[in-house]
């Protein structure tokens, strides 16, 4: 049986997670946030006093690093060496660390292997930067979700303020951080963030979440569901 494998890529703060999560829920399939896995590796490096940029020190660390994910009623639990770190990986420091550590080939190889194993066994919506280009390139349902950097910074500020984690950042600072992360993610040597030619472009700048989710779910149903409305 072929599994439903939906690939969602795009830059930070474009609404990828919100859309991917809602689409997975509507389709009744797993949501996999691959960014959380890079974040967990970055957290381990930071805890050990290793700069996530420092490939020479990160590589040996990987030998005894185990990243896994669990599904907790539709929400993802991310485990670092068996410890649930889901609540610890959302800081600005870890965001930057994840972008830096994602440059290292061996980190990518380790995580992509695990992501591909999950995709082979599960119906899922997988979200990240290299999902359509590297992790599940054969997927017939690929999306590239983006929005202007002004809009993404404004959304991030709102999100951070709502959760009391804004760390006093201004809109301009957040925009600069987002653009710096975009640059690292799209200019790295291995598996850079890119829109593959068969990915459907979803620009959420002036779209509601519902419209974006519908774009995804309509396409998934058209590709994977049979005429009776069920999965083939």
Residue 126: which region, alpha, beta or left (left: phi > 0; alpha: psi -120 to 50)?
Answer: beta
Q: Which is nearer to ligand DC, 62 or 98 (CB)?
A: 98
Assess contact for 184 and 191: CB atoms under 8 A.
Answer: no
Residues 187-216 that bind ligand DC (CB under 6 A): none
- Binder to ligand DC among 21, 44, 152, 181 (CB under 6 A)? 181
Residue in 47, 65, 45, 174 with CA at minimum distance from that of residue 109: 65
**Is residue 100 at the binding interface for ligand DC, with CB under 6 A as the rule?**
no
Indicate the DSSP class of residue 191.
S
Residue 10: which region, alpha, beta or left (left: phi > 0; alpha: psi -120 to 50)?
Answer: left
Q: Which is nearer to ligand DC, 21 or 181 (CB)?
A: 181
**Is residue 129 at the binding interface for ligand DC, with CB under 6 A as the rule?**
yes
Task: Pick the piece of the chain touching ligand DC (CB under 6 A) from 43-51, 56-64, 78-86, 126-134.
Answer: 126-134
At closest approach, how far in Å is the CB of 223 from ligand DC? 22
**Is residue 44 at the binding interface for ligand DC, with CB under 6 A as the rule?**
no
CA distance linking residue 78 with residue 63, whole number of Å: 19
User: Using CB under 6 A as the criterion, which residues of the chain lie in contact with ligand DC when the complex forms?
Assistant: 12, 34-35, 38-39, 95, 98-99, 102, 128-130, 181, 185
């Amino acid at each position: 049986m072929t599994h439903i494998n939906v690939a969602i890529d795009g830059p930070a703060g474009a609404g990828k997670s919100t859309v991917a999560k809602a689409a997975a829920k509507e389709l009744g399939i797993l949501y996999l946030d691959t960014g959380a896995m890079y974040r967990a590796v970055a957290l381990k490096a930071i805890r050990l006093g290793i700069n996530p940029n420092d490939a020479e020190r990160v590589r040996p660390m990987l030998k005894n690093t185990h990243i896994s994910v669990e599904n907790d009623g539709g929400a993802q639990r991310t485990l670092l060496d068996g410890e649930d770190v889901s609540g610890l990986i959302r800081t600005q420091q870890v965001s930057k660390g994840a972008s830096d550590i994602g440059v290292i080939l061996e980190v990518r190889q380790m995580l992509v292997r695990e992501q591909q194993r999950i995709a082979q066994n599960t119906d899922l919506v997988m979200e990240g930067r290299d999902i359509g280009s590297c992790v599940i390139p054969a997927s017939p349902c690929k999306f590239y979700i983006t929005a202007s950097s002004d809009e993404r910074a404004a959304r991030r500020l709102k999100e951070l303020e709502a959760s009391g984690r804004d760390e006093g950042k201004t809109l301009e600072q957040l925009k600069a951080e987002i653009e710096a992360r975009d640059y690292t993610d799209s200019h790295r040597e291995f598996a850079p963030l890119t829109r593959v030619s068969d990915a459907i472009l979803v620009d959420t700048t002036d779209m509601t979440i519902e419209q974006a989710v519908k774009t995804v779910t309509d396409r998934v149903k058209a590709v994977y569901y049979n005429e009776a409305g069920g999965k083939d």
